[in-house]
Structure 1
Amino acid sequence: MRTWQVERRQRTRHLIELGGLVVKAGIVELTNDDRAIIYGALLWIADKLQSHEGQRALDLWAAKGKQAFDAERREERMGRRT
């Protein structure tokens, strides 16, 4: 496989994973799949990260995301035991 094909597949996978996070967070349902709302929210996030509160927001959001991933892993493990 050519280098550009490998890079294209990696980029495609990355984009699919990012889209999956939007769905997993419930954003699609909460906005009725309104792309303008979703894009606006993402722009708001970008603005927040570029502000003087950017590091605080990163820390807060990282902790919240880690908690959610950890809870999901615990639920998966409990589901396998049942």
Structure 2
Amino acid sequence: MQRRERTRHLIELGGLVQKAGLVDLADDDRATIYGALLELVGRTREGDAGETLTLWKRRGKRAFDAEKAERETGE
């Protein structure tokens, strides 16, 4: 991956952390955010990762679809 593509990718991932509300919830504390993400990974690896990832993907798609619908209706 080229440097510019990698930078864009990282910015987009940071935007998702912001969009999910984790930045506000953690009061913009990077250690807390990193710890929360590590906790998610740890818990997922202990359980059924496939099922958990499928659930997260569905939830994310629904959220993206809802945001898109809001933008299209102007609400």
If the length of structure 1 is used for normalisation, what is the TM-score? 0.83
> What SS does the corresponding residue of 2:11 show, helix, strand or coil?
helix
1:63 aligns with 2:58: yes
Number of the residue aligned with 1:18: 13
User: Equivalents in 2 of 1:17, 1:41: separation in Å?
Assistant: 19
User: Equivalents in 2 of 1:53, 1:76: separation in Å?
Assistant: 35
The one-letter code matched in structure 2 to 1:12 is: T
How many matched pairs? 75
Partner deviation per Cα, 1:19-74 (whole Å, 9 max, x = no partner): 00001111111110111111011111221332232111101111110000000000
Gaps of 5+ in 2: none
Query: Percent of counterpart pairs with the same letter?
Result: 55
User: Equivalents in 2 of 1:33, 1:63: separation in Å?
Assistant: 27
Number of the residue aligned with 1:3: none
1:78 aligns with 2:73: yes
Number of the residue aligned with 2:46: 51
> What SS does the corresponding residue of 2:27 show, helix, strand or coil?
coil
* Structure with bigger gyration radius: 1
Task: Kindly indicate whether the alpha-carbon contact (under 8 Å) linking 1:48 and 1:57 is maintained by their aligned counterparts in 2.
Answer: no
The Cα RMSD (Å) is 1.6
User: Equivalents in 2 of 1:34, 1:52: separation in Å?
Assistant: 28
